[in-house]
Structures are given as C-alpha cells and as structure tokens.
A and B are shown apart, each in its own frame.
Chain A
Amino acid sequence: EAGVAQSPRYKIIEKRQSVAFWCNPISGHATLYWYQQILGQGPKLLIQFQNNGVVDDSQLPKDRFSAERLKGVDSTLKIQPAKLEDSAVYLCASSSDSTFNEKLFFGSGTQLSVL
C-alpha cells in the first residue's frame, strides 16, 4: 500500500515570495491534515479536511496561508507572502476517519527555508 506522498521535499524561497506544497493521501482515506513543525517543536495542526470540507482551521494564519482539497483526494497548501517565521517542515497526514482512536499516517514532509 502506497503511503502519503508529498512534494517537493525541500524548498528555499525569499521572504515575501509565495510557495505551494502538494499532498496525496493514502487511497481511500477521508481525512487529511496539514501540520507545521518548527525546529525543536512538535507538529502543530494547521488544517484538517474531512473529504473536501474543512473540519478545523483554527490555527491556520488565514491572512497568508490557504489550503484546498479538491475532489476529496489531493491537497495543496499555499503560503503567500512567506515570512521568515514560516521556516519549518510541513507535514501532511491522512487517516481513514476522524474518530479519536484513529491513527494518522504521515508523509516525509516538505522542509521550507525562508531567507
């Protein structure tokens, strides 16, 4: 079974530029998550989708971050414009549903450096 796919693996941009990340979840998984992991910290949830609807985006900086999940499968996360503090690893995860005992499967992440 294929895992969660993410691209690109690394991205370096200058502040005020825009960037987009792509995620393809495990086939059949209804729930998709984007996490931000700043160096030395645990991952923090940015947004959670159930199929193509948003369940939780309370910690998404909506003035600069946006995400979509078209057709309830792939997802893209965009930052525009980027700030220095956005330097982090962006992890995508998926699960078959959103019950409290459901484990999340993670991709390898996209490491973003904002200069």
Chain B
Amino acid sequence: AQKITQTQPGMFVQEKEAVTLDCTYDTSDQSYGLFWYKQPSSGEMIFLIYQGSYDEQNATEGRYSLNFQKARKSANLVISASQLGDSAMYFCAMREGESTGTASKLTFGTGTRLQVTL
C-alpha cells in the first residue's frame, strides 16, 4: 500500500490566490512526521514545512500552512497569495517514528506540479 498519496498530478492557480495541495498518508505508528518539499526546475528539494503527529496546532511557515487532520490521515499544504515563483513540483513526505526505536526513511509521494498564472 502507498504510504503517501498525492492525487493531483497538476494544479493551476492564479497569482495572489490561495491553493491547496492534497496529501493523505498511511501509517500505524503513533509517532511520525509529515513534511512538504518544493522542487523547482533546478532540481533541488527545498524544505517548506513540518508537522509532527503530536502537534496540536497546524504548522505555519510564512505563506505556507499545513492543514493537518489526523483522524482522516491527511496533511494538505495551503499556499496563500500565490506568486509566480511558486511554480514547481511539490512533494509530501512522511517519516515514521519510534515503533522500532529509530526513525524510518523519509518516504515521498509522487508529487503535484503547481503552475501559477498571471
């Protein structure tokens, strides 16, 4: 079974609008971390935001926020006030935690390509 599912291969959003990128995950661990990375055409993966499974409040980092719904196992990324520079691939990823005493590898979804238009 897929650990991380991103169902939107591509999304369009107009400049200055908000956009939500979907991510659902599958784990039986109680401790885990959820990450979002941005990958522009240059290829480097850029860390955007992190949400821990025990965090009660949704994470925010500037224009990025993570809509964490634990019961639904979803961790959607919300980008407010989109900019042309936000055009890139966006990957959701998960790292499972302490069931074995050490953290598991970071597992990525297939990504969503976001295109910001004028």
Tell yes or no: A43 within 8 A of B by CB: yes
Comparing B11-19, B67-75, B80-88, B99-107, the segment that makes contact with chain A is B99-107
B98 touches A100 (CB 8 A): yes
A57 to chain B, nearest CB (A): 11
In the complex, which range does the number of interface residues on chain A fall in? 20 to 34
B105 touches A48 (CB 8 A): yes
Which chain A residues lie closer than 8 Å to B52 at the CB level?
A: 101
Tell yes or no: A112 within 8 A of B by CB: no
Q: State the CA gap A70–B110 with chains docked (Å).
A: 32
Instruction: Give chain A's interface residues, CB within 8 Å of chain B.
Output: 33, 40-45, 48, 55-56, 89, 91, 93, 98-109, 111
Instruction: Give chain B's interface residues, CB within 8 Å of chain A.
Output: 4, 31-33, 35, 37, 42-47, 50, 52, 91, 93, 95-98, 102-111
